[in-house]
Structure 1
Amino acid sequence: MADPPEEQGITAIAVSGFKSLYDECRIEIRPLTVLAGANSSGKSSIMQPLLMMKQTLDAPHDPGPLRIDEPNVHFTSAKQFLCKDENGAFRDFIIAVELDDEFTLTNIYRQPASTRRRQLELVESVYGDLTIRPGMTHEEILQRMPQQLDELRNQISKDAQVNLEWRVVRNRCFYTFELYGESDELGTGLGFRTSPSEIVMSHIRHVIHVPALRGNPQRTYPASPVRGPEFVGRFDVYVAGVISRWRANESSQLRELGKMLEDLGLTWKVTSRRVEDTQVELRVGRLKHSARGGAHDLVNIADVGFGVSQVLPVLVALLVAQPQQLVYIEQPEIHLHPRAQVALAKIIADAANRGVRVVVETHSVLLIQGIQTLIAQEELAHDDVILHWFTRDDEGKTTIHSQEPDSFGAYGDWPEDFAEVQMQADSDYLDAVEQRKLGLFNGRQEPETSGD
């Protein structure tokens, strides 16, 4: 008997009718997925629908078919992200989530025709060949449902001595099948639901989101209990709680975190200290490396450079994530020195090698070159990495060019407007120096400078 296929988690996302993603744009998600491109080219847009699903599932109450107003993504109206066709009508907004390279769930949303209804309508949920839409009759459901589930209905009906039928109900951002009886009271009390969306919902809830805007370092942070692996909303608000738990449990992950910070050239230690019943203080080593007698040479995180507080959520997220869990990090390189940006590639690659599915949205050519180097050094498998390059045409529509690096880390058709920007800047500077030496600026000859 063949072994069952290994679970991989979310392996692809496809979106259409959303912001600049007018036509379907699809990204494959590998252990290490890089999203790159110019500002406003659609990098964040490809991930935002998934985050809206997450915040819909995370909400303490049912917010409707799709929550659009925080904590991960914030809109005040669906009209702010829906695309219009050539006649000015809103197009359907479609998101598809693929699991394990084989199972795809697709949701189709539509702006209601009635001006009285402001909330998006969930038109249908499609699970492979199975389409679930509201208003389906019991007979229509039976034609699409596996025989085993209807046999279960018959058994429950027999045990309860009540005739039960299937109907379609909405469960947050998905449609599902539910058993109900002849009386509303029984139907409500029975509550038996089944849908292929169960496993998809679990993976979406477990997405870890590290946003680009991670806030200023604080003197103290809420001492909220943290368990994981499910983190509701943005991950950066949990960092102090995770570190506090690691310290209380004397976890090796806290030492790993210190090693990561030292590899980045920022500090060698981070710890927490209870300040009040509801607050903790994050303290970091004042020096970059450990020194004799320096175990207590610590300062508040607010008293060191922004690089520590901004990269800390990135590092903690990568450490706390479990295999197959998707970690989406926006701009991991912010406030980091170029040398630290290169070193960060190794930390991200280590998480990918551990089975975490890391999606990095970046503008750092140094980070990408660091990833290429690790592939060339055979510390990262080239087929575990994929680069998606986003561009927009003259009409503002996004196109995605995807490329897997070869075994030496080369991407082949490298986007022309990325690495060449730095080369062009170097060339412009050298040309300016040469022209000035030749007296081509301000109509005067400049004296040659000494080479010392």
Structure 2
Amino acid sequence: MSLTNFKAFQSAEVRLAPVTLLTGLNSSGKSTVLQALALLRQSYDSGILLSTDGNSDSRGGFLLAGELVELGTGQDLLHEDFVQDTSEPVPLISVEFRTSEKKRFTWSAMYAPEPDVLPLFHTTVPREPELWSDVPLFSRSFQYLKADRIVPATTYPRSHHQAVGRGFLGAQGEHTVNFLRYHAQDLVPEGPLRHPQARAHTLMDQVVAWMQELCPGVNLQATDIPGIDSVQLSYGFGGTTGLDSTRRRRPTNVGFGLTYALPIVVACLTAGPGSLILLENPEAHLHPRGQSRMASLIAAAASAGAQLVVETHSDHVLDGTRLAVKQGRLAASDTAVHFFRGNGAGVEIITPTVAEDGSLSEWPEGFFDESENTLDQLLG
């Protein structure tokens, strides 16, 4: 994936693997990568990400404000030290990605300071619609779960269109409970995503088993509320599945961690070949053990054929991914770890390579070294 004049990047290229970890200090450009992908998907869903003929008024564009991302206007999107082709009247903001099948997709939008739709100036895309649908970014199996996910609540929305028609969990995971209610008895295909301790192969039983990796003994129910367009989530404790438990607890009485993690668990368990999942901070509100287990689930989803791009601040997510490689649950070649840091003149991207034994080719300064630095001071 290549970005030009896009927010934090004057120019950048980022390799996207089946599991891609985006790490680094705050405001170093990690989110920009996810936002660029989400912007393309958002524009595609709205129907305006079209091929251009160079003259048509219906040439398409970037939709900057929508359900996935709200990026403001062109002035917010354009890199402050933009590069400009002297043959063009305005700077171009470009996103390009190349698939493993050598398909090339490029969109270059014309900068305009005010509109929240930037018109496309030039595109290089396959003309055949079927070639678009083969790309995970434009497939039906797409999820984007932002850092500000659903919080514990008494009810959640019941939208048949979103959860069932589109199979979309919502950018905040707000449709997860209804999705799980509707698909509870669907089977998780045989493979790495099936938890060995689950009572059965149904989605609900598999979700319970993986959630117990985060909180031993927990179980959950997703039910509709007759007469209103809402659904309800409840938790129980103390059993392997506990669906016959008589004492249920509202999410508001349990805490943030489980509810925050639930959309990620459901997204991973329903991912398959051709799926793309964008995740922001999957470690949020989880104990270190839970963060490591979340990495195991992410690795399992990738092994089942999905592609995941993950922004994380957690060394436990990194180490959990490395452990999956060492244990043979994820191929080293199926990982990409990128460390973003400012260098005074822009953003520097350092990409350590993961070896088959889980080791990293380099450990740059500032890359998950705070624990070691603190320990040195404690022992000094």
* TM-score of the aligned structures, taking structure 2 as reference length: 0.83
- Would you say 1:30 and 2:17 are equivalent positions? yes
CA distance in 2, matches of 1:201, 1:122: 21
CA distance in 2, matches of 1:337, 1:284: 18
CA distance in 2, matches of 1:286, 1:90: 60
Q: Residue type of the partner of 2:184?
A: R
CA distance in 1, matches of 2:212, 2:169: 29
Displacement of 1:85 after TM fit? 4.2
Which residue number in structure 2 is paired with residue 82 of structure 1?
Answer: 78
Which residue number in structure 2 is paired with residue 18 of structure 1?
Answer: 6
Q: Residue type of the partner of 1:423?
A: E
CA distance in 1, matches of 2:178, 2:243: 27
Q: Residue type of the partner of 1:417?
A: G
Question: Could you say what secondary structure the match of 1:66 adopts?
Answer: strand
Distance verdict in 2 for CA 1:249–1:371, change over 3 Å: closer
Output aligned runs, 1:213-228, within 5 Å.
213-225=148-160, 226-227=163-164
Displacement of 1:238 after TM fit? 1.8
Question: Which structure has the larger Rg over C-alpha atoms?
Answer: 1
Which residue number in structure 1 is paired with residue 179 of structure 2?
Answer: 242
Distance verdict in 2 for CA 1:230–1:42, change over 3 Å: same
CA distance in 2, matches of 1:359, 1:86: 26
Which residue number in structure 2 is paired with residue 165 of structure 1?
Answer: none
Distance verdict in 2 for CA 1:282–1:387, change over 3 Å: same
Question: Could you say what secondary structure the match of 1:355 adopts?
Answer: coil
Displacement of 1:197 after TM fit? 6.5
- Would you say 1:124 and 2:88 are equivalent positions? no
8 A contact 2:42–2:68 mirrored in 1: yes
Structure 1: segments with no counterpart, 5+ residues: 1-12, 129-175, 177-193, 432-452
- Would you say 1:199 and 2:137 are equivalent positions? no
CA distance in 1, matches of 2:46, 2:116: 19
Percent same amino acid among aligned pairs? 24
After superposition, what is the alpha-carbon deviation per residue over 1:388-431, rounded to whole angstroms, capped at 9, x for unaligned? 11122212x22222233111011111222123211111222334
Which residue number in structure 2 is paired with residue 359 of structure 1?
Answer: 309
Which residue number in structure 1 is paired with residue 324 of structure 2?
Answer: 374
Displacement of 1:73 after TM fit? 1.1
Output aligned runs, 1:54-133, within 5 Å.
54-59=41-46, 65-85=61-81, 91-112=91-112, 119-127=117-125
Q: Residue type of the partner of 1:262?
A: Q
Which residue number in structure 2 is paired with residue 155 of structure 1?
Answer: none
CA distance in 1, matches of 2:157, 2:379: 52
Question: Could you say what secondary structure the match of 2:218 adopts?
Answer: coil
Q: Residue type of the partner of 2:218?
A: W
Distance verdict in 2 for CA 1:343–1:29, change over 3 Å: same
8 A contact 2:268–2:301 mirrored in 1: yes
Displacement of 1:96 after TM fit? 0.6
CA distance in 2, matches of 1:53, 1:293: 41
Displacement of 1:283 after TM fit? 0.9
CA distance in 2, matches of 1:293, 1:122: 52
- What is the number of residues matched between the two proteins? 350
Q: Residue type of the partner of 2:157?
A: P
Structure 2: segments with no counterpart, 5+ residues: 50-57, 188-200
CA distance in 1, matches of 2:73, 2:114: 14
Q: Residue type of the partner of 2:359?
A: A
- Would you say 1:391 and 2:378 are equivalent positions? no
CA distance in 2, matches of 1:412, 1:315: 30
- Would you say 1:413 and 2:362 are equivalent positions? yes
CA distance in 1, matches of 2:117, 2:307: 32
Counterpart among 277, 280, 305 of residue 231 in structure 2: 280
* TM-score of the aligned structures, taking structure 1 as reference length: 0.70
